[in-house]
């Protein structure tokens, strides 16, 4: 039986897909995950076999670059030893700076490498790795940042969603009730804008709309402040920092206001929850914008840039969404059409077929 190592960076956007790949392959191969301390908070040790590796971020502090470079070289040696000791046949990388030493060590050992890129722009580490990887598993045939001579390495697949997402009843609401249910997902980056500006806008919108809110917040302090704000304005709300069962609660919500990380908007789309995408403006290579642009071009979401948002146009947008129900339900219909071919079984078959290629 082939032994596969899945290596993933420390953000939820890296780890969640790695867990999905693990679940797809675990019945056919021996699987192990490697991440860092940041990534471990997203992994249930009871369900996943994983190890930790410490890899420095080379550019986190320019003054520490020489020291971090030495640590990085040591991490390559440790990765080499780890891979050789465990006799892995295949490495799958979901990106992030901590995956690079293991990818380099795998190349030295002639271990077959696959990289996974859920965004519409290839990540920097994935771009470095692509030259010696066998394939790049992705959702977009027009993946930005891939040179023409490497386009033959693109392996297209439908968005990889957590298994439980496929098991949920899709949002089939055919009317928007008087009480509007709004889901707010700030993500792990740039969530301060959501905690401050979006929360403020929700209180203003509540003056003219009957709403309830399910909202992700940065931390406990923000949770306390926003809860106090909503209580003062008589807004029914539930706040959370991280909830791996979020979409069980959110499936019947009318509208999401969200960053546009690939996993988040893929899951919202599959559950047929219309969303306003506000890309994180400082994302590397502006990949969140291109993620959302794909859905906007398919008339499946509303897209607004953070720099273009002000109090008036944002409130007007929310008001128009709920008033123009023809467009609202047209977007729900388009989401169903866009996601109808995506299934757990089809994705699992494609991944296993890819891994078993000679």
Domain ranges (residues) in the chain:
3-161+342-355, 166-339
Predicted local confidence at residue 112, as pLDDT: 97
Task: With cut-offs at 50, 70 and 90, classify the pLDDT of residue 244.
Answer: low
Q: Which of 70-74, 150-154, 275-279, 304-308 has the least mean pLDDT?
A: 70-74
Alpha carbon distance 350, 347 (integer Å): 5
Task: With cut-offs at 50, 70 and 90, classify the pLDDT of residue 243.
Answer: low
Q: Which of 32-46, 194-208, 275-289 has the least mean pLDDT?
A: 32-46
**pLDDT of 288 strictly over 80:** yes
Alpha carbon distance 250, 255 (integer Å): 10
The single residue listed with the structure tokens 């929850």 is 273
By CB atoms closer than 10 A (0-12, 13-18, 19+), residue 330 is middle
Higher-pLDDT residue of 160, 43: 160
Four-point Cα dihedral 67, 61, 145, 274, nearest 10: 130
Using alpha carbons only, how large is the chain's radius of gyration in Å? 21
Predicted local confidence at residue 205, as pLDDT: 92
CA distances (Å), origin 256, targets 26, 103, 264? 33, 36, 10
Q: Which of 42-46, 271-275, 345-349 has the least mean pLDDT?
A: 42-46
CA nearest to 117, candidates 105, 101, 132, 129: 129
Predicted local confidence at residue 57, as pLDDT: 82
Task: With cut-offs at 50, 70 and 90, classify the pLDDT of residue 302.
Answer: very high
346-350 — which CB contacts under 8 Å span 24+ positions? 346/158, 347/24, 347/157, 347/158, 347/160, 348/24, 348/25, 350/157
**pLDDT of 28 strictly over 70:** yes
Alpha carbon distance 196, 217 (integer Å): 10
Helix axes 65-86, 100-108, angle to 10 degrees: 50
The single residue listed with the structure tokens 């809860």 is 227
Q: What is the pLDDT of residues 74-118, one digit of tens each?
A: 999 999 999 999 999 999 999 988 899 999 999 999 999 999 999
Same fold, 3-161+342-355 and 166-339: yes
DSSP string, 157-208: ------HHHHHSPP----S--SEEEEEEE--SSSHHHIIIIIHHHHHHHTTT
CATH topology for 3-161+342-355 is Rossmann fold (3.40.50)
Q: Pairing relation of β-strands 179-185 and 30-35?
A: unpaired
Alpha carbon distance 199, 224 (integer Å): 13
Q: Per the structure block, which two tokens stand in for 54?
A: 């410490």
CATH topology for 166-339 is Rossmann fold (3.40.50)
Alpha carbon distance 58, 98 (integer Å): 10
Predicted local confidence at residue 78, as pLDDT: 92
Q: Per the structure block, which two tokens stand in for 307?
A: 């720099």
Average pLDDT of the chain, as a whole number: 90
Higher-pLDDT residue of 293, 37: 293
Instruction: Quote the pTM value.
Output: 0.89
Tell me the average pLDDT across 267-276: 94
Predicted local confidence at residue 192, as pLDDT: 83
Predicted local confidence at residue 188, as pLDDT: 65
Predicted local confidence at residue 201, as pLDDT: 93
Alpha carbon distance 130, 139 (integer Å): 16
Beta strands in the chain (DSSP E): 3-7, 30-35, 50-52, 90-93, 112-117, 135-138, 154-156, 179-185, 210-216, 236-240, 255-258, 275-277, 302-303
Q: What is the pLDDT of residues 174-216, one digit of tens each?
A: 777 778 899 999 876 657 888 889 999 999 999 988 999 999 8
Sort residue 5 into left (φ over 0), alpha (ψ -120 to 50) or beta. Answer: beta
Q: What is the pLDDT of residues 212-241, one digit of tens each?
A: 999 988 888 888 999 999 999 999 999 987
């Amino acid at each position: 039986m082939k032994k596969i190592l899945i290596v993933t960076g420390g953000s939820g956007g890296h780890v969640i897909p790695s867990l999905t790949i693990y679940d797809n392959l675990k019945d056919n191969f021996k699987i192990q995950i490697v991440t860092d301390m940041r990534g471990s908070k997203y992994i249930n040790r009871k369900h996943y076999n994983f190890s930790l590796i410490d890899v420095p971020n080379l550019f986190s502090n320019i003054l520490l670059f020489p020291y971090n470079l030495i640590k990085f070289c040591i991490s390559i040696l440790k990765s080499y030893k780890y891979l050789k000791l465990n006799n892995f046949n295949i490495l799958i990388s979901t990106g992030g700076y901590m995956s690079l030493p293991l990818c380099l060590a795998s190349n030295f050992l002639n271990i077959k490498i696959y990289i996974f890129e859920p965004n519409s722009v290839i990540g920097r580490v994935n771009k470095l790795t692509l030259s010696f990887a066998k394939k790049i598993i992705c959702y977009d045939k027009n993946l930005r940042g891939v040179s023409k001579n490497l386009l033959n390495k693109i392996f297209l697949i439908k968005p990889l969603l957590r298994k439980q997402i496929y098991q949920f009843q899709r949002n089939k609401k055919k009317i928007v009730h008087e009480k509007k249910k709004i889901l707010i997902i700030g993500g792990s980056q740039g969530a301060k804008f959501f905690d401050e500006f979006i929360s403020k806008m929700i209180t203003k919108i509540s003056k003219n709309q009957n709403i309830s809110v399910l909202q992700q917040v940065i931390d406990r302090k923000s949770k306390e402040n926003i809860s106090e704000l909503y209580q003062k304005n008589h807004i029914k709300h539930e706040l959370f920092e991280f909830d791996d069962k979020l979409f069980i609660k959110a499936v019947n919500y009318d509208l999401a206001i969200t960053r546009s990380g690939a996993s988040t908007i893929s899951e919202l789309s599959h559950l047929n929850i219309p969303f306003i995408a506000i890309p994180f403006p400082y994302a590397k290579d502006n990949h969140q914008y291109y993620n959302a642009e794909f859905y906007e071009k398919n008339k499946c979401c509303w897209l607004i840039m953070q720099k273009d948002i002000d109090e008036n146009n944002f409130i007007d947008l929310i008001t128009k969404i709920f008033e123009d129900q023809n467009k609202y339900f047209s977007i729900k219909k388009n989401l169903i059409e866009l996601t109808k071919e995506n299934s757990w079984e089809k994705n699992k078959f494609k991944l296993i077929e890819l891994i078993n290629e000679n």
